[in-house]
Amino acid sequence: MQYILQMIFVLAGMVVLTSGAQALDPVKLEGEFQLSGRLDHNGSTTRGRSHLYVSLTGDTAKTLYESLGGDPTEDVCTGHKLKGRSNVVCYEIMPNEKYFCSFSVNIERGTVEAGLSGCF
42-66 pLDDT, tens digit per residue, is 666 677 788 999 999 999 999 999 9
- Is a pLDDT exceeding 50 seen at residue 1? no
Is residue 120 a part of any domain in this protein?
A: no
- For residues 100 and 83, the answer to whether their CB atoms sit within 8 Å is no
SS3 call for 60: helix
CA 52 to chain centre: 11
pLDDT band at 19; cut points 50, 70, 90: very low
Give the pLDDT of residue 23.
58
Q: Compute CA distances 14 → 5, 65, 89, whole Å.
A: 14, 11, 14
Is residue 118 a part of any domain in this protein?
A: no
pTM over 0.75: no
Is residue 59 a part of any domain in this protein?
A: yes
Q: What is the pLDDT of residues 67-104, one digit of tens each?
A: 998 899 998 888 899 999 889 999 999 888 899 999 99
> E strands of the chain, at which residues?
31-36, 51-57, 73-74, 81-85, 88-93, 98-106, 111-113
Number of domains in the chain: 1
Question: How far apart are the C-alpha atoms of 107 and 8, rounded to whole Å?
Answer: 12
Give the pLDDT of residue 9.
45
Name the residue range of residue 23's domain.
Answer: 2-113
